[in-house]
Structure formats: structure tokens, C-alpha cells
Amino acid sequence: MGRARIAVAGAGLIGATHATLLRASPTCTLVGIVDPAPSARDVAERLGVPLFATLDALFAAMPVDGVVIATPNRLHVDQALHCIDEGAGVLVEKPVADTVADAERLAAVVAATGARVLVGHHRTHNPILVRAKALIDEGRLGRIVAVMGSAVFLKPDHYFDDGPWRREPGGGPILINMVHEVNTLRMLCGEIVAVQAFASNAVRGFAVEDTVAINLRFAGGALGTFMLSDTAACARSWEQTSRENPAYPSYADEDCYVIAGTRGSLSVPTMRIKSYPAGEDASWWKPFEVGTADVRHQDPLALQIEHFAAVIRGEAAPRVSVPDGLANLRVIEAIAEAARTGGAVELPSGS
């Protein structure tokens, strides 16, 4: 196959970014935009590609190897199924679906057909997390015991005025922000099998939560705590530490995860490692060997596009599969239920 011929459905905030990256890709050709909104005309003109109002019109007009679906969540599954029917590969934005039931519908078709579908949890492709996972997998930290994570930041008041739905249940940080974190936690520490949560709306006073304290149990026996808030003036978030999106100010002295094992710990994204030298006794009376793992920063969205092209060519399995997207959604639903009921919620192991 030559260059992969890829279209983008949904030319909003993230779709326009995908389309721009596709134009710059060495292995892909952006062949068109699908979006019924008048505002999409500007994006298509700027990128010099045809605009279609529907997926049907796109597929009727030209051969397409893959489609990036960057439309509102409730359209993801039907549009992904449509592309699968046409034999195209799919990169579907996160969350994979609006509901667990819808994600299950897509997962069943992917399992039955072997369709090539990648879910857009782009942080998976960030070299920081790729390096962190490699360090964990090669045993640098020993057996993983605990993870402490945070996504604690301050969203501006106008964010809630611009989208009043964000004040209502479902518009808060559990559904909007935590799905990224769950994917990262599962990538680094394995499947999540149980959760507990306390939620609060004490500061903003909206119907939706503004702050959540979450406990996690992993299949391998590790435990985790995660602090989530959109109303605290703090830099302990991936957004304000990873330098992934230059629109956010970033603080090089802060971390958003500490992963601790029986031989050492890793702070992410500073990548500071404190570990006991191999073969030596480990104890809090002994000094750690202290170091920092090197990482070459690269745009994970651009890396994700190159991975998508490899998936389309049949050279790679999706690094974030539909079953992964479904598992992430199940954990999110469990956190929301735990916060609502105040009880622990178990998830089937390997779900």
C-alpha cells in the first residue's frame, strides 16, 4: 500500500487538529472532511480538501483507507460501524462510546469481523508514558505496590457559562477528565477490579461534582489513590506537567503520578527514579540510587496518526483497542456509581 488515504469526520476542536497532522504526515494523505456544519468549510478550504456532509457522500466519492471520527460522543459507534461496513480502518476519539452498552455493540462487531479500530486515547503514544511503562515492565520498580495520581486543576468560571450542561450530572470531571486518567492507570498498572469514591460539590455548588477522591484496586494486587478536581488551584495534573499541550502553562518541578514498587518508585512526568541497586537489601535505612530517565518529547497526536496508518496497513495491532475503550468506560461508570452510593464497586477481572 502507498500512502494511507484518510478522511476526518467532525472538523471541530480536535478533528481540525487531526486533519492538520494528517496533512503533515509522511505516510498518510488527508483526502476529505465530513461535517455538515457551515464552519467546516473554512477547515476544508484551509487544508485544500473536499468537504462532504455525510459519510455516505464521502464513500460514494472516493476510495478511503481510514476515517478519524472526531464527532460528538453519541455518534461514535454508529459512525464507526458505518466505516467498518465500508471496509475502512477507524480511529475513533475517546470516549469510544457514550455508554457501556453502545461500546459493547461496537466491541462485538470488531471481535466478529477483525475490523481495524484504534481508540483515540492519545496519551498512550506519549514517549513519557511509553518510557514509564517500559521501566515498570522491565522490573526497575520491582512488584508494583501502589500508585498515587492526581488531576487537580482550576477550570475558569466561563467554562461553565459557555456550556451550561457542564453544571449538570455527566458534565463533570469524572466523565470528561477521568477517562484519560483511567486509560493511563490501566496502561501502567494493569486492570482495575474495584473502586471506591467520595465526591463533593462544596465549592462550585453545581449539581455535578467538582472534586472526587478515588480508591482503586488493580488485578495484580496493587492499590491506588487518585485525587480529581476542577476547582483547586494546583499544578498536579498531566495537563500542567507533561508539556503535551503548549496551551497549558507547565511546571517542571511537579508530578501527577508516583508509582511505587518493592524495589523503587517512579515519579511521572519528571521521570525521577529512586530505587535500590539490584542484588542489595531494600530497606528505608538504606539510601536509594537516584536518577532521572531520559525522554525525547514528541507530539503524541502525531505519533498516534502514524500508529493508525500502521494499523490500517495491517502492520500493528491497535495499542488502544475497542475492548480497552470499553474497559475504560466501565471503570468510569463504576467510579460514578461509587461516588453516588458511597460503596465499593467491583468490576469483573479482565472486563
Ligand X SMILES: NC(=O)c1ccc[n+]([C@@H]2O[C@H](COP(=O)([O-])OP(=O)(O)OC[C@H]3O[C@@H](n4cnc5c(N)ncnc54)[C@H](O)[C@@H]3O)[C@@H](O)[C@H]2O)c1
Q: What are the counts of helices (DSSP H) followed by strands (DSSP E) for the chain?
A: 11, 15
> Smallest gap, in angstroms, from Cβ of residue 36 to ligand X?
6
- Closest to ligand X by CB, 34 vs 193, is 34
Q: Which residues contact 8 (CB under 8 A, 6 or more apart)?
A: 15, 18, 19, 22, 30, 32, 33, 34, 67, 68, 70
> Smallest gap, in angstroms, from Cβ of residue 177 to ligand X?
10
Examine residue 323 and say whether the peptide bond preceding it is cis (omega within 30 degrees of 0): no
Q: Read out DSSP for 225-289?
A: EEEEESBS----SSTTTS-SSTTS---TT--SEEEEESSEEEEETT-EEEEPPTTS---TTSPPE
> Smallest gap, in angstroms, from Cβ of residue 141 to ligand X?
28
Beta bridge pairs of residue 30: 6
Instruction: Give me the residues that bind ligand X (CB under 6 A), please.
Output: 9-15, 34-37, 40, 70-73, 75, 93-94, 120, 122
> Smallest gap, in angstroms, from Cβ of residue 229 to ligand X?
19
- Residue 214 sits at φ, ψ, to 5 deg, of -120, 135
Is 290 in contact with 273 (CB distance < 8 Å)?
A: yes
> Smallest gap, in angstroms, from Cβ of residue 71 to ligand X?
4
- Closest to ligand X by CB, 248 vs 276, is 248
> Smallest gap, in angstroms, from Cβ of residue 34 to ligand X?
5
CA pair distance 59, 340, nearest whole angstrom:
44
- Closest to ligand X by CB, 70 vs 100, is 70
- Closest to ligand X by CB, 12 vs 169, is 12
- Closest to ligand X by CB, 200 vs 245, is 245
CA pair distance 241, 253, nearest whole angstrom:
8
> Smallest gap, in angstroms, from Cβ of residue 198 to ligand X?
26
- CA 114, distance to chain mean position in Å, is 22
Cell output for 29: 494523505
Closest CA to 275 of 253, 267, 256: 267
- Closest to ligand X by CB, 72 vs 87, is 72
- Closest to ligand X by CB, 119 vs 266, is 119
Q: Please, how many CA atoms are within 13 Å of residue 277, restricted to the half-sphere of its CB?
A: 4
Residue nearest to ligand X (CB): 12
- Closest to ligand X by CB, 13 vs 202, is 13
Q: Which residues contact 146 (CB under 8 A, 6 or more apart)?
A: 222, 223, 224, 225, 259, 260
CA pair distance 60, 13, nearest whole angstrom:
26
> Smallest gap, in angstroms, from Cβ of residue 72 to ligand X?
6
> Smallest gap, in angstroms, from Cβ of residue 305 to ligand X?
12
- Closest to ligand X by CB, 79 vs 150, is 79
In the block, residue with C-alpha cell 512488584: 143
Helix (H) or strand (E) holding 68: strand 66-69
